[in-house]
Amino acid sequence: MKQTINANIGSLAFTVDEDAYRLLERYLSDISSRLDSTNLHILEDVEARIADLLKEEIASPMQVVTAEMARRVTARIGRPEEFGDRKTTFGDTAGDGFERSSETTRQRLSRPQNDRMIAGVCSGVARYFEVDPTLIRVIAILAVILGTAGLWIYIILWICMPDEKEVVQYPNRNERR
Protein backbone atom coordinates (compact mmCIF):
# COMPACT_ATOMS: atom_id res chain seq x y z
CA MET A 1 0.00 0.00 0.00
CA LYS A 2 1.30 3.43 -0.94
CA GLN A 3 0.17 6.97 -0.37
CA THR A 4 -0.92 8.98 -3.38
CA ILE A 5 -1.09 12.70 -4.04
CA ASN A 6 -3.60 14.57 -6.15
CA ALA A 7 -1.60 16.85 -8.40
CA ASN A 8 -2.70 19.49 -10.84
CA ILE A 9 -0.33 19.16 -13.78
CA GLY A 10 -0.94 21.49 -16.70
CA SER A 11 -4.54 22.06 -15.53
CA LEU A 12 -5.32 18.35 -15.51
CA ALA A 13 -5.89 16.36 -12.36
CA PHE A 14 -3.65 13.35 -11.80
CA THR A 15 -3.31 10.88 -9.01
CA VAL A 16 0.39 10.33 -8.55
CA ASP A 17 2.27 8.25 -6.05
CA GLU A 18 4.72 9.95 -3.75
CA ASP A 19 7.83 8.93 -5.66
CA ALA A 20 6.42 10.12 -8.95
CA TYR A 21 5.36 13.40 -7.34
CA ARG A 22 8.79 14.03 -5.95
CA LEU A 23 10.45 13.14 -9.22
CA LEU A 24 8.25 15.49 -11.24
CA GLU A 25 8.54 18.24 -8.69
CA ARG A 26 12.30 18.07 -8.77
CA TYR A 27 12.34 17.90 -12.55
CA LEU A 28 10.19 21.01 -12.94
CA SER A 29 12.03 23.03 -10.35
CA ASP A 30 15.34 22.04 -11.91
CA ILE A 31 14.09 23.31 -15.26
CA SER A 32 12.71 26.50 -13.76
CA SER A 33 16.06 27.17 -12.11
CA ARG A 34 17.50 27.28 -15.62
CA LEU A 35 15.04 29.77 -17.07
CA ASP A 36 15.32 33.50 -16.71
CA SER A 37 12.27 35.43 -15.64
CA THR A 38 11.17 36.33 -19.18
CA ASN A 39 11.07 32.68 -20.16
CA LEU A 40 9.16 31.21 -17.28
CA HIS A 41 6.25 30.46 -19.61
CA ILE A 42 8.41 27.62 -20.97
CA LEU A 43 7.61 25.88 -17.74
CA GLU A 44 3.91 26.02 -18.60
CA ASP A 45 4.62 24.39 -21.94
CA VAL A 46 6.69 21.67 -20.37
CA GLU A 47 4.08 21.05 -17.75
CA ALA A 48 1.37 20.82 -20.40
CA ARG A 49 3.56 18.36 -22.28
CA ILE A 50 4.11 16.27 -19.16
CA ALA A 51 0.34 16.18 -18.71
CA ASP A 52 -0.12 15.09 -22.34
CA LEU A 53 2.41 12.30 -22.04
CA LEU A 54 1.14 11.13 -18.66
CA LYS A 55 -2.33 10.91 -20.13
CA GLU A 56 -0.95 8.51 -22.71
CA GLU A 57 0.76 6.50 -19.98
CA ILE A 58 -2.30 5.82 -17.89
CA ALA A 59 -5.07 3.57 -19.14
CA SER A 60 -7.82 5.34 -17.24
CA PRO A 61 -8.06 8.54 -15.18
CA MET A 62 -8.28 6.32 -12.12
CA GLN A 63 -4.86 4.81 -12.64
CA VAL A 64 -2.09 6.07 -10.39
CA VAL A 65 0.96 7.62 -12.01
CA THR A 66 4.02 5.70 -10.89
CA ALA A 67 7.62 6.85 -10.70
CA GLU A 68 8.34 4.57 -13.65
CA MET A 69 5.83 6.44 -15.80
CA ALA A 70 7.11 9.78 -14.62
CA ARG A 71 10.64 8.70 -15.49
CA ARG A 72 9.63 7.63 -19.00
CA VAL A 73 7.89 10.95 -19.56
CA THR A 74 10.78 13.06 -18.32
CA ALA A 75 13.20 10.97 -20.39
CA ARG A 76 11.20 11.83 -23.48
CA ILE A 77 11.34 15.51 -22.73
CA GLY A 78 15.00 15.32 -21.92
CA ARG A 79 17.41 16.30 -19.20
CA PRO A 80 16.92 19.69 -17.52
CA GLU A 81 20.29 20.69 -19.02
CA GLU A 82 18.45 21.08 -22.35
CA PHE A 83 17.00 24.24 -20.91
CA GLY A 84 20.33 25.90 -20.25
CA ASP A 85 22.56 26.49 -17.26
CA ARG A 86 21.28 27.13 -13.79
CA LYS A 87 20.45 30.75 -13.14
CA THR A 88 19.05 30.48 -9.65
CA THR A 89 19.82 28.07 -6.89
CA PHE A 90 18.11 24.80 -7.55
CA GLY A 91 15.02 24.48 -5.39
CA ASP A 92 14.40 28.20 -4.88
CA THR A 93 11.84 28.77 -7.58
CA ALA A 94 8.49 27.12 -7.34
CA GLY A 95 7.10 25.34 -10.35
CA ASP A 96 4.02 27.43 -10.96
CA GLY A 97 0.73 25.63 -11.36
CA PHE A 98 2.26 22.47 -10.02
CA GLU A 99 0.97 22.65 -6.47
CA ARG A 100 3.55 21.93 -3.83
CA SER A 101 3.13 20.23 -0.52
CA SER A 102 4.10 21.96 2.68
CA GLU A 103 7.35 20.02 2.73
CA THR A 104 10.31 22.37 2.72
CA THR A 105 13.61 21.67 1.10
CA ARG A 106 15.55 23.77 3.61
CA GLN A 107 17.62 21.58 5.89
CA ARG A 108 17.22 21.78 9.61
CA LEU A 109 20.34 22.35 11.63
CA SER A 110 20.99 18.85 12.86
CA ARG A 111 23.85 16.42 13.27
CA PRO A 112 23.93 13.89 10.41
CA GLN A 113 24.08 10.21 11.24
CA ASN A 114 26.86 9.43 8.85
CA ASP A 115 29.81 11.65 8.03
CA ARG A 116 30.82 12.66 11.56
CA MET A 117 34.25 13.11 13.10
CA ILE A 118 33.23 13.64 16.71
CA ALA A 119 29.54 14.41 17.07
CA GLY A 120 28.64 15.56 13.57
CA VAL A 121 28.46 19.26 14.50
CA CYS A 122 30.75 20.49 11.71
CA SER A 123 29.13 18.23 9.19
CA GLY A 124 25.68 19.51 10.17
CA VAL A 125 26.74 23.13 9.99
CA ALA A 126 28.38 22.51 6.62
CA ARG A 127 25.27 20.86 5.27
CA TYR A 128 23.12 23.73 6.52
CA PHE A 129 25.20 26.28 4.66
CA GLU A 130 25.85 23.90 1.76
CA VAL A 131 29.62 24.08 2.03
CA ASP A 132 32.36 21.48 2.31
CA PRO A 133 32.42 19.92 5.81
CA THR A 134 36.24 19.95 5.74
CA LEU A 135 36.22 23.74 5.55
CA ILE A 136 34.04 23.98 8.65
CA ARG A 137 36.25 21.43 10.43
CA VAL A 138 39.38 23.42 9.67
CA ILE A 139 37.73 26.59 10.95
CA ALA A 140 36.55 24.76 14.08
CA ILE A 141 40.00 23.33 14.80
CA LEU A 142 41.61 26.74 14.32
CA ALA A 143 39.01 28.24 16.65
CA VAL A 144 39.83 25.65 19.30
CA ILE A 145 43.58 26.19 18.94
CA LEU A 146 43.41 29.98 18.91
CA GLY A 147 41.16 30.37 21.90
CA THR A 148 38.97 28.47 24.29
CA ALA A 149 35.78 29.98 22.81
CA GLY A 150 35.98 27.52 19.90
CA LEU A 151 35.70 24.54 22.17
CA TRP A 152 32.75 26.06 23.97
CA ILE A 153 30.97 26.87 20.71
CA TYR A 154 31.43 23.25 19.64
CA ILE A 155 30.04 21.94 22.90
CA ILE A 156 27.08 24.34 22.83
CA LEU A 157 26.27 23.37 19.26
CA TRP A 158 26.60 19.71 20.21
CA ILE A 159 24.00 20.19 22.89
CA CYS A 160 21.68 22.39 20.83
CA MET A 161 21.74 20.59 17.50
CA PRO A 162 19.40 17.60 17.56
CA ASP A 163 20.69 14.22 16.55
CA GLU A 164 19.41 13.43 13.09
CA LYS A 165 17.39 10.48 14.34
CA GLU A 166 15.00 12.94 15.95
CA VAL A 167 14.32 15.06 12.90
CA VAL A 168 12.37 14.23 9.79
CA GLN A 169 14.47 12.62 7.11
CA TYR A 170 14.32 14.30 3.74
CA PRO A 171 14.58 11.58 1.16
CA ASN A 172 16.09 13.80 -1.51
CA ARG A 173 18.71 15.20 0.80
CA ASN A 174 21.73 13.71 -0.87
CA GLU A 175 20.53 14.24 -4.40
CA ARG A 176 20.65 18.00 -4.15
CA ARG A 177 24.34 18.25 -4.88
Partner 1 sequence: MNIQNIELDNVKTQMRRGTLEYCILLILSREDAYAPQILGELKNADMIVVEGTLYPLLARLKNQGLLSYRWQESPQGPPRKYYCLTDLGHEALQVLDRSWEEMVEQINTIRKSRN
Residues 131-160 touching partner 1, rule: CB under 8 A, are none
Least separation in angstroms between residue 63's CB and partner 1 is 16
d(CA 1, CA 101): 20
Piece in contact with partner 1 (CB under 8 A), picked from 79-87, 100-108, 122-130, 164-172: 79-87
| Contact call for residue 71 and partner 1 (CB under 8 A) | no
Least separation in angstroms between residue 22's CB and partner 1 is 20
Q: Name which of 160, 161, 158 is nearest 144 in CA terms.
A: 158
d(CA 2, CA 100): 19
| Contact call for residue 51 and partner 1 (CB under 8 A) | yes
Q: What letter represents residue 7's amino acid?
A: A
d(CA 103, CA 90): 16
| Contact call for residue 61 and partner 1 (CB under 8 A) | no
Paired strand residues for 5: 16
Ramachandran bin of 130, using left for φ above 0, alpha for ψ from -120 to 50, beta for the remaining angles = left
Least separation in angstroms between residue 55's CB and partner 1 is 7
| Contact call for residue 83 and partner 1 (CB under 8 A) | yes
Mask for 8-47, x = binds partner 1 (CB under 8 A): --xxx------------------x------xx-xx-xxx-
d(CA 68, CA 76): 13
Piece in contact with partner 1 (CB under 8 A), picked from 69-77, 88-96, 129-137, 168-176: 69-77
